[in-house]
Every structure is written in C-alpha cells, then in structure tokens.
Structure 1
Amino acid sequence: RGFKLALDVEATSPFVGGTGSMVEMLRHALSVHANHPAYLRVDGKPVLFFWREQRWSPAAWQSIRDQVDPNHDSIWIAEGIDMSYQSVFDGHHLYSVTWNPPSDVGATASKFSRWVNDARDRYGSYRYWVATAMPGYNDTRTGRGNAFVKDREGGAYYARTWEAAIASNPDWVIVNSWNEWPEGTYIEPSQAYGDQYLGLTAEWAGRFKSGAPIAYTAPAAPAVAPPAAPRPTPTPLPTPDYAAVQVQAEVLNVRSRPSVGAYLVGQADGGSVMRATAKLADESWWQVCCVDGSEAWVSGDWVQPIGPATDLGELPVVAPLLTTRPAALTDRLE
C-alpha cells in the first residue's frame, strides 16, 4: 500500500532479440504499465531505469528513443560508467557501489555526481543524478569465481552508503536491493536481520527528504599490521597458443547458437578462457569449445579475443542465422 513501481529494463534480457524488439517492449511498457496508478512518475512523467544499455551504441539508442519517445515524455535513467549515453538518456545511476577491490563510496558518489553535472552542461538540458545505497554484499553462494563479501558491519556500512549518497546532492536515492538474496544485498525482513534494515531505511529516507545537508565521513583507516611473510606471486595465466576468448564479465551466459534468445547451455566465470572455433563476421558472437561436450556461443560484447593473431584471423566465419518467418515471430524467438 502506498508503493510506486518502476521498470528496470535489461537490455541483454533473453526476451530482447534486437533493437526492434526493444522498441516494441518499450512501447508496450509506456502504453500499458506506465498508465497504472501505482507506476512511478516524476513531474508527471513515467520513469524507466535501464541496465546494460551498453549492448548498443548511443546512436542505436537514439534511434530507439526516436521511435518510442521522441518528445521525452518519459524519464530514462541509464547505468554504468560510460557517460556518453547521456546524449540520449535523462539521468544516471549505478546499480552497485560495492565493488571488489573496495572503493570509497563517498568518492564514487561525488565523482558520478560531477559527471552528471558535466552532462547537463554538455547536452544543454537537465540530467537526474540517482545515488545508490547498499547494506552490504555477499555472493559467495552463487558459485562465481570472483565472489566476495562486504560485511554489513551491523548497519554501519548501510549508513555510510546513505551518507555518501545524500552528500552527493542527488535528485533521488535508490537502495540495492529489496530482495536480491543471491548477492546478499536484501533489506526485506529476514531471519538474519529481522526488520532492522526497514527501520534504517525509514530513518535515512527521512533524513534525505528533510533536505538537511549531510557530510560524508570516510571510515578510519585500519591500523597498520606488521608486515606479513611475503606470499608467492601467482603465476599469470599464459596467453594460449591457439585462438581463444577470455570472459570480461562477472558471469557470462553460454548459448546454443548466436542469439540472446537461444537456449542457455551454461555459464562461464569472469577471466575464463575458452577455445574459439568460429565467429560471426562482425565478431558479435564467438563459437567456443566445449560445453558439455558440444560447441556453443558467447556474445562478443563480453569477451576479449586472445591468442595468436594469425589463428584468430583464420577462424571460420559463420553467417548469421537467416529466417523467412514473420518479423513479430522472429522477435519472440531470436
């Protein structure tokens, strides 16, 4: 009761086969869901958040917006570290501010606040800065190779991220997250914390809404421990002597064919190296070997080709899948 909801649009969703299906999805969202009385609106405009919009260039997004919302009758909030997307979007946020290795959350919020201000000047119209607060982080049960923990410190870390968010003079503050249990960022009531984080959220939201200035205080530096015995330097992963790709994302989906709508056959952890056996001509997809004994495909957006240049250049080039099916059906299947 009393809640407002907004969509967070995932550009790499398996339900989005290409820019055409994104256009149709956004048109549906704005014509149907955004008209619900509980949908979040700011100054009368429905708000859409986006994640992984980097799948397409700013120019591609400009084309999408021209087809969906040419008069900017809705508010589009981008995510990530590439501010060039502010040429199309109306504001910016970070899904996560809890990183490994850790960063100063105050410095991070301040930096992105400045970047959004710069975008306002560069593009000549207002851009919203949406800061992020988080209670902690723990994705060690996901099986990810780069999983890590940021302790909640009894609520102290949540307080610091709220302080950092408010001190950055944001238009809005979001909390990551309500119920992202696999990454341990949830604030909803739980056996571990009861309703502690609901109370903290109410307290900090009230302070933010009051408009009173809040200064961010960085945590004290830990006491310097005596030098430990030197640890052996890990041997770097050697560059393979064959054509390969290395995963650049935290976790990468591996699919049965070169399409985000294709069947998911597995996942690869960040840093993983897979032998490349073929590719599309534009290198948007790479065929790799082997997952469960079969060849599969990974998106070129999230891998780095490695290995001998000659071998990479001589990989077989596979033609994209062609179809004569109706466009609407193709969007659903691809």
Structure 2
Amino acid sequence: MTRFRRRACIVLLLLVLFVCSLMMGLKTLMPNTAAFGNPFGLGLLPEFHQRNAVLESKRDPQSSAGDEGAITQKNFHNIIRSGSKATMATQVKLEDLPPPNYDFHVFYYTWYGNPRFDGKYIHWNHPLLQHWDAKIANSFPKGRHAPPDDIGSSFYPELGAYSSRDPSTIETHMKQMRSASIGVVALSWYPPGMADENGESTDDLVPIILDRAHKYKLKVAFHIEPYKGRDDISMYNHVKYIIDKYGSHPAFYRYKTSTGKTLPMFYVYDSYITAPEMWANLLTTSGSQNIRNTPYDGIFIGLLVEEKHKHEIHRSGFDGIYTYFATNGFSYGSSHHNWSGLKDFCNSNNLLFIPSVGPGYVDTSIRPWNSQNTRNRVNGKYYETALSAALHVRPDIISITSFNEWHEGTQIETAVPKRGKVVYQDYLPHKPDLYLELTRKWAKKHSEEKKLWLM
C-alpha cells in the first residue's frame, strides 16, 4: 500500500509539472510577455493563415450590410462570445485615456469612401495590380474588389467599409490613437485638387481632423505624398500653403530641436525620386528656393529605402531619415539589423533617425503575386519585435506604419473576423484592439527608457 501511494504521488507530481510546463510554454506565445532586447526569431516566422476550428465555429456567416458593410459592436459580440467586453477604444472616456507620447507618430490615410458619404466606394474597391512581367501577370486574377463584402484588404475593419469623411469615423480613429498613447498623426497629404490614382482630393478634411485631434490632445504632422509636379518650387509653395492655412491650429505639430527652436515636421514620401540637387535648392541656405530661416522653415524627413539614400538625404539638406516600410528585410531601410548603423550615421551628421515599425505586412489583396513580402503578425510578436529593435537604437521618435493602410495589411486599427465569399484574417484569439494595446504598452516603455537615456 505504501509503495502504491508513493507511486501515485510521483505520477501526480509529474502530471502537475507537465501542466505547469505546458502553461508556461503557452504563455511565451502571448504578446504581453515579449521583453525589450529579446526579439522573436524573424527567420522562423511561420505561415499564419490556418484557422482554429473552434474559433471558426464562432463566426457568423456575413451577408451584405448595407452601404457601408459595417459590423456593429453587437454583431461582434455574437461572433466571438456572449458577454465579451467592448473594445477599449469604444468604451473608455476621455479622462480615462492614457497620456499621449508625442514621440510616437502613426501614418494615417483619409482616402476611403463609401456611397453614403461619397456617392461611391473609394479605395475599398481597389483594383488588382498587375505584375510588370506579362507571363507572371497572366497567372493571377484581374479586376476590382466589390465592397462591402469584398474589399481591397486581407483584414476587415471593425467600422466596416467606412468613409474618411464620416465625422464619427474620424472621431473613433482619434480616440483609438489616443487610447494607444500615440501623440502625433502623420497625415497622408496631397495638395488641393490632387490625389493618388485611386482616390480623390482630401485636403478639405484637414480642418476636421485637426479639430478632432485637438479634442484628444493629439498633434498632426503632414506626410507629403509624391504628387505630380513635386519639385523644389512646388514644395516651397505647398509647405507655405500648409503653414499659412493650418499652422495656427493648436493641433498643428511642431518639433522642438536641440537648439530650442520649434518647427513643423514634414515627412516626404518617396523623396528619393527627386534629385538631391533639387532638394538642396529648397533645403539648404545656398539654394535658389531656400526655405531655411524663413517663416516656412521646418523639419524635413526623407525616406530611406536603399543604403545610398542616406548620403543623398544628407546632401539634399533633409533633417532626418525615416524607413516607412513594415517589411523587415524588404529594403535596406526596413531591415532591423541596419538600424544601428543608420542611427550612427544620423548621429554623425546631425540628422534625426526615425525607424518605422509595423504589425505585419500583406498586400496580396491588391498585389496577388507579392506573397513573398508577406510578414505574418504571429499574434503581435512581429510588432513587438520591431518595437524592440527600434528601442534598441534609442531613437528620439518612432513612426508606426500604419494606423489604417488596409491595402498593405499594416493597420493597427481595430479589425474583426468576417466570413462570406471572402475569408479575412483577424486578430483572434485576441480582441480587435490588440495592436492599440501593444502600442500603448511600448509607448510607455519608450517614455521610461528615454528618461534613462537622458540621464
């Protein structure tokens, strides 16, 4: 009997140890355990398209939901489970939101439209882009997406196929950003009357965006897109336009330099397509269109894709570098292992280095042939790896790609499960605000780390 009891105790002890080991192993997969300085092995990222059968069974088949194809909070409760809590960004009050970190900037797009507010769908019906090699192009589908159930994204927004002109959408977006402790909205901007090839002009939305941003104590910087005719002369005129029209608004972002100046910041997308000599006309004191030491001076941040761009950016007279892309390994600038060298280069040349981090990347909904550049989210691990790599180089500012670039799957905006003719990826088993929560966590970590850097 004694021997039997001893054996039973040993078996029970082994069972307890097994369960504890299993729980610890599972816990390491949760985003909230990722630690600074201990990045997840990016080379081992698994394909993350498989669905858990149990979670699949909890999803409701989706049908057309009217003009906007919106999924309401009530429907989302039914999809996940009864009694689940509302997402953080839609439930909290203004006074309960965490403080903004003005060193966390997020790229924001206002190019979406739907029939209710715009008379038609815009961008959600994005065309399938063809590969430049005809032989490859012929192997993939052609045409356009058909909202609201079929949109140009691999994820589906909690707000549905929304319009960027909907005041309630803008309000919700600003609240979500503030709930994530983001401080600066880097607004994608085209001059009045201009737009990308799939969109329409949105400069008239800037005033309401500034107003709503101010309500949540956010600031707005301008992310200037490569519009037709962008050169030193047009840039001077458009920077002047932005500052004259919006510069007096309390939400207009200004960066305090090491010399004590406070100047507006402009991100310049695809800056490398313009010759450094032309930028130097605008951004150096000897240039023919010199903007320096005038009322329209600013902090101009150029995009680095290739390594040679760092020298071109410096020669152009830019004040800093950002990397934009959320695909680790896609370009020299987006590769995390190059950030330390880029930071050293910037330090040596009195430039700001602003690494861009993202939660993942998938653009096969609009570029079906581009699966090799997909970066799976791995339940938030990919995002935390990028944030960890960024903090490691001690940047003054971290930029996030993106709040809502749905076409490229880099959004941190809330997303929900949706099934129908199209099956979308989602953030399950986590809540729709997973990436807002992770951003808030790392914004706080950055604030705490920065205090130590300055000691």
**Same topology, TM > 0.5:** yes
Q: Does 1:3 align with 2:222?
A: no
Aligned residues, how many? 206
Rate the CA distance shift 1:195–1:68 in 2: closer, same or farther, 3 A.
farther
Q: Which AA in structure 1 matches 2:318? A: F
Rate the CA distance shift 1:86–1:17 in 2: closer, same or farther, 3 A.
closer
Does the 8 Å contact 1:97/1:108 carry over to 2? Answer: no
Return the offset for 1:128. Answer: 1.0
Return the offset for 1:144. Answer: 5.2
Partner of residue 250 from structure 2, selected from 37, 45, 50: 37
Return the offset for 1:175. Answer: 0.6
Distance 1:100 1:117 in 2: 23
Which runs of 5 or more structure 1 residues have no equivalent in the other structure? 121-125, 215-334
Greater CA drift, 18-27 or 172-181: 18-27
Partner of residue 395 from structure 2, selected from 157, 162, 170: 170
| 1:238-294 C-alpha deviation (Å, 9 max, x unpaired) | xxxxxxxxxxxxxxxxxxxxxxxxxxxxxxxxxxxxxxxxxxxxxxxxxxxxxxxxx
DSSP-derived class of the 2:325 partner = coil
Rate the CA distance shift 1:46–1:189 in 2: closer, same or farther, 3 A.
same
Return the offset for 1:111. Answer: 2.5
Q: Does 1:70 align with 2:292?
A: yes
Greater CA drift, 106-115 or 170-179: 106-115
More strand by share: 1
Does the 8 Å contact 2:328/2:336 carry over to 1? Answer: no
Q: Does 1:47 align with 2:265?
A: yes
Greater CA drift, 189-198 or 91-100: 91-100
DSSP-derived class of the 2:435 partner = helix
Greater CA drift, 100-109 or 39-48: 100-109
Does the 8 Å contact 1:177/1:185 carry over to 2? Answer: yes
Q: Quote the residue 2:321 is aligned against.
A: 92
Distance 1:105 1:213 in 2: 27
Rate the CA distance shift 1:68–1:145 in 2: closer, same or farther, 3 A.
farther
Partner of residue 339 from structure 2, selected from 109, 128, 131: 109
DSSP-derived class of the 1:135 partner = coil
Computed over aligned residues only, the root mean square deviation of the Cα atoms, in angstroms, reads 2.4
Does the 8 Å contact 2:267/2:302 carry over to 1? Answer: yes
Q: Quote the residue 1:21 is aligned against.
A: 234
Return the offset for 1:108. Answer: 2.4
Max Rg structure: 2
Distance 1:17 1:173 in 2: 26
Q: Quote the residue 2:434 is aligned against.
A: 196
Return the offset for 1:33. Answer: 2.3
Rate the CA distance shift 1:101–1:172 in 2: closer, same or farther, 3 A.
closer
Does the 8 Å contact 1:131/1:168 carry over to 2? Answer: no
What is the percent sequence identity of the aligned residues? Answer: 27
Q: Does 1:205 align with 2:443?
A: yes
Taking structure 2 as the reference length, the TM-score comes to 0.42
Does the 8 Å contact 2:326/2:361 carry over to 1? Answer: no
More helix by share: 2
Which runs of 5 or more structure 2 residues have no equivalent in the other structure? 1-215, 257-261, 417-425
Return the offset for 1:168. Answer: 0.9
Distance 2:382 2:338 in 1: 15
Return the offset for 1:70. Answer: 1.8
Return the offset for 1:64. Answer: 2.2
